[in-house]
Amino acid sequence: MRAWVVAEPGPMATRPLELVERDVPEPGPGEVLVRVEACGVCRTDLHLAEGDLQPRRPRTTPGHQVVGRVEGTGERVGVAWLRSTCGTCRYCLRGTENLCPRSAYTGWDADGGYAGYLVAPRDYVYPLPEDVPAERLAPLLCAGIIGYRALLRCELPPGGRLGIYGFGASAHLTAQAAIAQGAVVHAVTRSAASRALALELGAASAGDVPPEPLDAAILFAPVGTLVPPALEALDRGGTLAVAGIHLTDVPVLNYERHLFQERTLRSVTANTRADGRAYLELALAHPPRVTTTLYPWEEADRALTDLANDQVNGAAVLVMS
């Protein structure tokens, strides 16, 4: 099979991805072999390619928003970021398996979906419907799921005012989930296309700053300098959840301006399978508008380059020819 690998992490201009020929992997005990139909392109893949996220193994195949079929049965499944956990540590036993010290991740600890096939533990794949195009399902498997967890973590009250900083793949799905629950959403983004999309999806505003104090906020942009103004924009008792796996350095915070009045800063670390099941059930029952930019699978390097240059509207998806 053909597979993309991270040959030498670095800026996309240095062409860190390499297209190679590999043997189709063999599933081990408890694993399934999945033939890839489509794979979403995530900013985490970009962090891995560019070296912001340190590789855990050489020449890894990225990709963790995989829609495919189990070889031998034809069952349609999704393969997401969380690949495995130990199941026995204190975190797993208390329902926070995303914090498991021995957790492993698709496209980081094991080869992911920028390939013709991948293997995944049976207990960590999600059943998917037959009647939804693969390119619409793929973004749900990370952009949707992690946005759902971020929405839980920011503790948005019913009918509350939510600020979303950065408006890419995850943000555009999270905004719809929040609006469906009665929230007033304010998008903060520099991109004219993203501002237009936010307003189309029902955001109350889209600009440089929120026009009113916020009850909660989610930072999707991996930009640490946005943390202080996002905290300052919170009303009393508000919470800012940082949704990315990577964030540039956060400037010094001023206690009175940024944290006093019980404002809270929280991180989001991966997701649990329960998060994934809950979000997919919600998204399939009430399908969001999934805005995608499609790329032939052979152009994964171009897709990541466009993502690095903020030239993707919505979610980028690689589609197998």
Choose among 74, 188, 209: nearest CA to 130. 74
C-alpha dihedral (87, 47, 113, 304), degrees to nearest 10: 160
With bands split at pLDDT 50, 70 and 90, how would you rate the model's confidence at 297? Answer: very high
Beta bridge partners of 69: 35, 76
Cα distances (Å, whole numbers) of residue 231 to 56, 156, 164, 237, 315:
33, 14, 12, 11, 27
Question: What pLDDT score does 321 carry?
Answer: 78
- The whole-number average pLDDT for the span 122-148 is 96
Question: What pLDDT score does 39 carry?
Answer: 98
Please list, residue by residue across 92-130, b when 16 or more beta carbons sit within 10 angstroms of its beta carbon and e when fewer do: beeeebbebeebbbbbbebbbbbbbbbbbbeebbbebee
With bands split at pLDDT 50, 70 and 90, how would you rate the model's confidence at 313? Answer: confident
Phi, psi angles (nearest 5°) of residue 218: -125, 130
Using the Cα atoms of residue 299, residue 305, residue 310 and residue 316 in order, give the sign of their dihedral.
Answer: positive
- Supply 233's token pair: 């924009």
C-alpha dihedral (198, 199, 204, 210), degrees to nearest 10: 50
CB neighbourhood size of 83 (10 A):
21
Q: Is the pLDDT of residue 170 over 90?
A: yes
Q: Is the pLDDT of residue 277 over 90?
A: yes
With bands split at pLDDT 50, 70 and 90, how would you rate the model's confidence at 244? Answer: confident
